[in-house]
Each structure stands twice: as structure tokens, then as C-alpha cells.
Amino acid sequence: MKLKENMRTFVTHLEGAIDGATLNAQELQTMSSERPLWTRYDLDSVRKSLTKESLTKRECTMWRYRELLPPSGDDEIVTLGEGMTPIYNCPRLADHFGLKNVSIKDDSQLPTGSFKSRGMAMALTMAKKFGVKRVAVPTCGNAGGAAAAYAARAGIEAYIFMPDDTPKINQYECNLFGAKLFLVNGLISDCGKIVRDGKEPMGWFDLSTLKEPYRLEGKKTMGLELAEQMNWTLPDVIIYPTGGGTGLIGMWKAFHELIELGWIDPDRLPRMVSAQSTGCCPIVRAFEAHEKFAKPFEDANTMASGIRVPVAVGDFMILDAIYSSNGTAVAAEEDRFPAWMRLVARLEGVGMCPEATAGIGALEQLSKSGWIKPDERVLLFNTGAAQKYPHIEPRDPARVNKDKPIDWGFIESQSV
């Protein structure tokens, strides 16, 4: 698929997030001073060529924001139709926490069942544009499945490294999509080192979170979408489960680009809340200590595998989004994740992944403490499908023998 013939890109350059260095966007870049890059655009020109009204006629995918995305019109897009996920109003969930206005943006509906597809669609599109033949990615789970699917779609070879206790279903999808999968006796940081060390001998391009600039631009579309879906009036609070942090950083970037376009009110930005697990909460600790960077989290352990990230290269970018939005960071109690999954599923019919239920823990703590006021508008993200986590509290259903008379009392007595 092409975006639009001959549409130029509005990207001007890439910028080092830590050192402000200017890098050429016409070449494939990775990092600057070992830290992530921002993709910068000529927003004055975007303002002249794009209107809110013209957007409404475009296709319902994240590519509708093409002027604010890296590829040019001539580049071939690697896509599975990702983006424009629904936002549900959740009155029973709101009521449960004494609030009036809680909604969920449901990214579990994206290809491979998690929001990782936004970033991978963008990263593989750009990798393909720059002629990359082979990519590698360290993953806690969902990034692997998404990388494998989009690499297949792009005709690019993928090598994936994940901790050996990563859920089977994430291993399965990597195999299914034809990636070369390796289990590592360690954490994602150990997998990251293997990918780094393999760059020279294997000649692959490193797709690690924030070690190339474009996954972030894909994640940014969450912020663009929710702004458009909420008619360019943002919620008061956005709660986001944080691992590597691209979601939070990407949305914050999106809002600033929309301010530059004059499309949203700069005085009504949401307070950004980072939700983590008590089993792995480096960002929460750094926030509580008012630090610019986060210290590595020792012995990280959580069933919410996607946020088991003890070290994030973009830690200072996550913290900056929290500080400058007057947000906060909350650690949700690890052993309550399954109960929160059931709560959201039963109250609202939304199958929420354990990562996102860290946001339910944050909602509980922040509504109790009064940090979130009853009538404030709160938006939570469901970053992945609950169906990818059948290993969390697996349960055998009761059985019925078709060849015997049915015992209706037994049927009725089953607990849920």
C-alpha cells in the first residue's frame, strides 16, 4: 500500500533526546549518545496542508495521520490495517471506584492482540524503506509477536530473543509468523545485550524499544487517535501501563505536535499516570525520589510480562512526561492483577491484559486518595488482549455428559 503518490514527508530531522544533536532523517539512524531520538516535523507546513475536516474522510487506520508520520507518499507501507481502536465508556467500572467518567481505549483489537503492532508497523515500514533485510528484537512477549508478523508482511527476516519464562502464546506467534525465536535464561535486558552484541556478526537492525526512532512514532498515533475521537478535547487523566514507556512518551509527543498545529488547548493537557507493578516499578521509585533517571530494578518479577522492564533507555523521557503534565506514577499490587482482570471483564465485557490492569490498581489508589476527583474524565488503555494470558489462573470448566440425563441443579450451581 502507498500513502499517497508524491506526497513528500514533513520530517525535517531526527533529534537526540538527551544531547539535542541533529541527525539526518534520510538515513537509517539508531540513537545519539546511547539515548533515543525524536522525529521532528515541519509543523508549520503540516498546519497549512492538513485540516481536521480533511482527516474525517480518510481511512480508519493510524495512517490517516500521514502528514505527522515518517514515511513519504512514495514509500510502501507495511500494514495490517492497524489503528483507530474504539474508546468505550465504562459506567460500571467508574461507579465501582466512585467516579463518573471512565473510559477505555481498546488496543487489544490490533493485529497480534496488542498495541505493539502500532510501533512495529511503523518500524518495519521504515526498515523496509531503508533496505534492511534482517531485524532483531529483544522482547517480553508481545513485541516479538508483532515484530514477527510485520516482518513477515514486509518480507524481512526476524530474530527474536525473549526470557525463557515468556508466555507460550508469545513463543507460538513468533514461530507461526516465521521468525527465528530464542529463549534466554534472563530478563529482557539480557536479551537486549545479545541483540546489541549480534549487530556486527549478524548484520541485523536492532528494533529494541527506543533504540530506533520509529516505533515511537507508531505509538504516537494513540495520542492522535484519542484526541480526534474525543473531538480534540483531551481527558483530565490518562493512565498507562509502563514498561519501556513508548506509549506514554509517544502520546505526550503527539499532544505537543497537536498544540503546534493549534488543534488542542495547551492549557487543558491530561495528567499522565504511569502504572507499574509492585514487582517491577523502576519509574515509580524514580518519580517518588524526584529523579531524572531511573535506577535498574533488582529482581524484577511480574505476571504482567509486558511491563517487566527493569531498565528503560527512555526513562528520562517517561519521567519528563509525568513531571511536566503534573502526573504521577503508581505501583499496583502484583497479587491483585488476576482479580482486576476479572473485575473489568465482568463489569464491562472488556478482556484486559494484566499489564493494563496495573492501570486499574492506579485508578483505585488515585480515586481513593482524591488525586482523581469524582467528575474528572479518566482514560485507561487496554494495551493487549486478555486472551493472550490463559496461563494466569487457568481454570477447568465443569463437564457435561451428553449421553446421560442433564442434572440442571448441577448446571445452576456452578460458580463463575
Show the site string, 93-112: x = touches ligand PLP by CB under 6 A, - = not.
Answer: --------------------
Q: How many residues bind ligand PLP (CB under 6 A)?
A: 18
118 contributes a contact to ligand PLP by CB under 6 A: no
What are 141's three cell numbers?
A: 512477549
Among the listed residues 36, 243, 310, 351, the single contact to ligand PLP using CB under 6 A: 243
Nearer to ligand PLP, 209 or 365 (CB): 209
Nearer to ligand PLP, 136 or 283 (CB): 283
140-169 residues in contact with ligand PLP (CB under 6 A) are 142-143
303-322 residues in contact with ligand PLP (CB under 6 A) are 306-307
Indicate the residue type of 122. Answer: M
Nearer to ligand PLP, 235 or 354 (CB): 354
Nearer to ligand PLP, 61 or 242 (CB): 242
For 121, list phi and psi in degrees, rounded to 5: -60, -45
Asked whether 245 and 317 are in contact (CB, 8 A), the reply is yes
Q: Select from 220-228, 240-248, 265-273, 395-403 the region that touches ligand PLP (CB under 6 A).
A: 240-248
Nearer to ligand PLP, 9 or 117 (CB): 117
Angle between helices 354-369 and 337-348 (to 10 degrees): 90
116 contributes a contact to ligand PLP by CB under 6 A: yes
246 contributes a contact to ligand PLP by CB under 6 A: yes
CA pair distance 3, 355, nearest whole angstrom: 33
Nearer to ligand PLP, 43 or 322 (CB): 322
114 contributes a contact to ligand PLP by CB under 6 A: yes
Q: How far is the CB of 207 from ligand PLP (least distance, A)?
A: 13
Q: How far is the CB of 161 from ligand PLP (least distance, A)?
A: 15
Asked whether 12 and 42 are in contact (CB, 8 A), the reply is yes
Nearer to ligand PLP, 9 or 305 (CB): 305
Q: How far is the CB of 305 from ligand PLP (least distance, A)?
A: 8
Asked whether 94 and 343 are in contact (CB, 8 A), the reply is no
Nearer to ligand PLP, 43 or 303 (CB): 303
Q: How far is the CB of 116 from ligand PLP (least distance, A)?
A: 5
Q: How far is the CB of 51 from ligand PLP (least distance, A)?
A: 30
Nearer to ligand PLP, 252 or 263 (CB): 252
Indicate the residue type of 152. Answer: A
242 contributes a contact to ligand PLP by CB under 6 A: yes
Q: Select from 51-59, 226-234, 237-245, 288-296 the region that touches ligand PLP (CB under 6 A).
A: 237-245
With cell 502464546, the residue in question is 169
Q: Select from 231-239, 241-249, 320-328, 366-374 the region that touches ligand PLP (CB under 6 A).
A: 241-249
320-349 residues in contact with ligand PLP (CB under 6 A) are none
Q: How far is the CB of 307 from ligand PLP (least distance, A)?
A: 5
Nearer to ligand PLP, 3 or 151 (CB): 151
Q: Which residues bind ligand PLP (CB under 6 A)?
A: 114, 116, 142-143, 209, 241-247, 306-307, 353, 355, 383-384
